[in-house]
Amino acid sequence: MRKEKETLRLTRTMTDKHRAVRYALVTIEDFLERLRAETTKKSLQRLRDLTRAGGDGTQLVRNLPAICPTAEWEKTPDGGVSMNRFNGIIALELSGLHHAEALAAAKYGASLLPFTLAAFIGATGDHVIVWVKVCLPDGNLPKDEVSALRFCQEAYPWALSLYSPILGNDLRPVFSAESQNVLRVSSPLSYDDAAYYDAGACSLKVGQLSMLESLRRSVKSSDETDEKSQSLTERMIHHLEHLYAFRHDEVRGVTEYRAYDQWAYGWRVVDERVQRGFVIDLHRVGIEAWDADLKRYLYSNKINRYDPVFNYLQDTIGHWDGHDYIGELAATVPTDTPEWPKWFRTWLLATVAQWLGGNKKFGNSIAPLLISPQGYRKSTFCKNLLPPELRWGYTDNLLLENKKEVYYAMSSLLLINLDEFNKISPGIQQGFLKNVIQLSQVKTKRPYGSTMEDLPRRASFIATTNMSDILTDPSGSRRFIGVELTAPIKIAHSINHFQLYAQVMAALSAGERSWFDEAETERVMQHNRQYEVRTPLEQYFHNTFRIADSDDKQAKYYTTTEIFDIIRRKAGSQLRLGSLTHFGRFLMNQPNIIRLRRTCGSVYWLRRIDVA
């Protein structure tokens, strides 16, 4: 008669309000159901947000129930703990995984081995726990606690030697907070709706290598047979894909790789140096592929596409906890401008919408301009706006004179800081910069590209300066939000980027406006007048004329030329008054000025104040 398979039961421990530890047994199915439950997610959200922000969640972890997979434990009458049954499970942990992609990669790497019973994200959200099934060479398990402890001490090195080549050398055994005893390991209850579980996982026979050797020889024999019938290109691709995963970063236009034996530790760009190393490695195994063969593959549509910005923002959707992180961040910038929090919020929403390509007709055509003396931490604030995962998309040393570089940066970066804005010439400020800041697409050539392409614009602008008279556009500075700081920015404030962008995504999903309407644009222009550069001609105008009301009996209409001549006679020929065209644009954009179109051109209703 066949013996029925015994139910695998785990030990759940919980510390009550009297600091007494209570024990209970749960089936692995019940554990998995709780692991994937929405209620568990909500109870862990505060802990994971605190961890992402760099805080200490020790106390929150202590309040969680813990799960011990290795054995069934129960309390003894004398207050001790004894083992009822050893489950044949050991627990490994891989820490330091700060992004959803790295966590998923670690679980995938663990799933490649047939001994993995389960792999799931730990309670703090920055590590993966792997449960490995183990047994004695004869397939049995130790019966008593002493034998089980000795067996675990022997099993861990075996499991680490097998899993480390896939998951990395930072893999280690899970230890409970109370004990370093590898038999009594436990970890806090966690949440992972995509946890890996294999009820049919086989056990790693500790002390027996025959299965692994047979598997290795089988794979090697298969590879050798296949190579004989493959073309050079097929052999090259087969060899590379056997060792590495590849993806094409659509934002930066580069191909990245990650070795399978370092699966959970990030992607690296396939630069020229790496390509040469690939070619050398190919030659060492007898595959005579060359640089052109390799590049043809690496920059082909055979490589999967990947958008790091979309992936990051997608991970935040639905996770906002309701706190106003945008307003909190705006408040770290001390200023007397009352509209700053509202303007900053709209600009940040527009920035993220630009990353997502939300508006195909208009780009994010406005940029904050932070004004203060040196040492007010303006540049640090700008850089910290991006989360660490996306900080590659920030620059503060872009040369506007190099138009090709500017166009490519707008398609491949996320935030461009026009640092030391006062060094940008009036010609570039009024011409090229004014034009590019409103583009929704850019026409440029990618690296390694042979033709011009229409690429989506992703980057938004922000600017910093040490001077208050900085804006030179006579038609009105609607492209910038001048913000004068009253004190240094509070950079000691730790930005919870995950929650910040979760709030932005929630606002965009709710349909909140991410652009400045006409009334707001007019208010921005009015606010910016205090930061405009006044040319001598403009200063003489205000000393000579006053913009008059319609019922002013002492006012009359003047043409642009008449006004220009009056000022020129007053100032004398020694003063450079600037061009008549520039002055005409200046007059047209004066607030509340009355203008009429006549056959002689535009005339302006003004009152002279320099004559009695």
Beta bridge partner(s), residue 598: 601
Whether residue 435 is contained in a domain is answered as: yes
Per the structure, how many domains does the chain have?
4
Q: Are residues 157 and 15 in the same domain?
A: yes
Average pLDDT of the chain, as a whole number: 83
Beta bridge partner(s), residue 68: 11
DSSP alpha helices (H): ranges in 96-144? 100-111
Beta bridge partner(s), residue 268: 257
Please give the distance of CA 172 from its chain centroid, rounded to a whole number. Answer: 28
Dihedral sign, CA of 578, 580, 583, 589? negative
Q: Are residues 171 and 28 in the same domain?
A: yes
Q: Are residues 509 and 563 in the same domain?
A: no
Whether residue 220 is contained in a domain is answered as: no
- Using pLDDT thresholds of 50, 70 and 90, give the confidence band for residue 215: very low
Whether residue 226 is contained in a domain is answered as: no
Three-state secondary structure readout of 320-360 = CCCCCHHHHHHCCCCECCCCHHHHHHHHHHHHHHHHCCCCC
Summarised one tens digit per residue, pLDDT across range 569-609 is 877 765 565 566 767 777 877 777 888 888 778 888 888 88
Q: Are residues 476 and 586 in the same domain?
A: no
**DSSP string across 198-260:** -TTPPPEETT--HHHHHHHHHHHHHHHHHHHTS-HHHHHHHHHHHHEEEEEETTTTEEEEEEG
pLDDT tops 50 at residue 520: yes
Q: What is the pLDDT of residue 221?
A: 47
Q: Return the SS3 of 121.
A: strand
CATH code for the domain in which residue 347 is found: 3.40.50
Residue 45 CA to residue 275 CA, distance in Å, equals 42
When pLDDT is averaged across residues 398-425 and rounded to a whole number, the result is: 86
CATH code for the domain in which residue 574 is found: 1.10.10
Of residues 382, 362, 400, the one with CA closest to residue 521: 362
- How many C-beta atoms lie closer than 10 Å to residue 314's C-beta? 13
Q: Are residues 545 and 441 in the same domain?
A: no
Q: What is the pLDDT of residue 263?
A: 58
pLDDT tops 90 at residue 416: yes
pTM > 0.95:
no
Q: Are residues 557 and 423 in the same domain?
A: no
When pLDDT is averaged across residues 113-126 and rounded to a whole number, the result is: 92
Whether residue 1 is contained in a domain is answered as: no
| Least confidently predicted of 192-201, 432-441, 580-589 | 580-589
Of residues 609, 594, 604, 611, the one with CA closest to residue 564: 604
pLDDT tops 50 at residue 4: no
Q: Are residues 159 and 41 in the same domain?
A: yes
When pLDDT is averaged across residues 479-504 and rounded to a whole number, the result is: 88
Q: What is the pLDDT of residue 476?
A: 53
Residue 268 CA to residue 258 CA, distance in Å, equals 7
Q: Return the SS3 of 90.
A: strand
Q: Are residues 547 and 517 in the same domain?
A: no
When pLDDT is averaged across residues 38-49 and rounded to a whole number, the result is: 84
Summarised one tens digit per residue, pLDDT across range 256-296 is 998 876 655 678 899 999 999 999 999 999 999 898 999 99
pLDDT tops 70 at residue 180: no
CATH code for the domain in which residue 143 is found: 3.90.920
Answer for the pair 501, 327: CB distance below 8 angstroms, yes or no: no
Q: Are residues 146 and 171 in the same domain?
A: yes
Q: Are residues 57 and 202 in the same domain?
A: yes
- Using pLDDT thresholds of 50, 70 and 90, give the confidence band for residue 17: low
- Using pLDDT thresholds of 50, 70 and 90, give the confidence band for residue 130: very high
Write out the residue range of the structural domain in which residue 341 sits.
312-531
Cβ-based neighbours of 219, under 8 Å, separated by 6 or more: none
Whether residue 87 is contained in a domain is answered as: yes
Q: Which two tokens stand for residue 443?
A: 């026409």
